[in-house]
Structures are given as C-alpha cells and as structure tokens.
C-alpha cells in the first residue's frame, strides 16, 4: 500500500467516524430530551399522588368511626 493510498484510507476512516459521531450526538440529544420529559412526567405524577393522599385523608377523616 502506497503512502497516498494509506492517507486516502485514513481520510475515509476519519469521515466515517465523524458521521458516526454526528449520529450519536443526535441520538444523545433525543435521549436527553426524552429523559427531561420523563422527569417532568414523573414530577407531575408525584404531585398527583400527593394530592390524592391528601384527598383520601380528608375523606376518611369525615367518615364516621366504627367502634
């Protein structure tokens, strides 16, 4: 393999790696966005659960006590 062929092969490999890195960066951005959305959804569910717990406590406190 001549030096020119070797350099051409290195250039091709570099371009291939750069394309793969671009795809990975795009996938990473998508994953980070999805994670952020899931965290927001999780927070909303936690808030709903806390509200439901308070509602249940209020409802049960109004029920007559059975002795």
Is residue 17 scored above 90 in pLDDT? yes
Is residue 67 scored above 80 in pLDDT? no
Q: What letter does residue 63 receive in the DSSP assignment?
A: S
Q: Among 5-9, 31-35, 43-47, 54-58, where is mean pLDDT lowest?
A: 54-58
Show the DSSP H helices in the chain as ranges.
Answer: 3-62
Average pLDDT over residues 15-27: 98
């Amino acid at each position: 393999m001549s030096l020119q062929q070797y350099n051409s092969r290195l250039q091709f490999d570099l371009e291939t790696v750069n394309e793969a890195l671009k795809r990975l960066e795009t996938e990473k951005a998508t994953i980070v966005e999805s994670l952020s959305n899931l965290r927001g959804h999780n927070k909303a569910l936690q808030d709903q659960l806390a509200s439901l717990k308070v509602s249940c406590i209020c409802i049960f406190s109004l029920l007559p006590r059975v002795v």
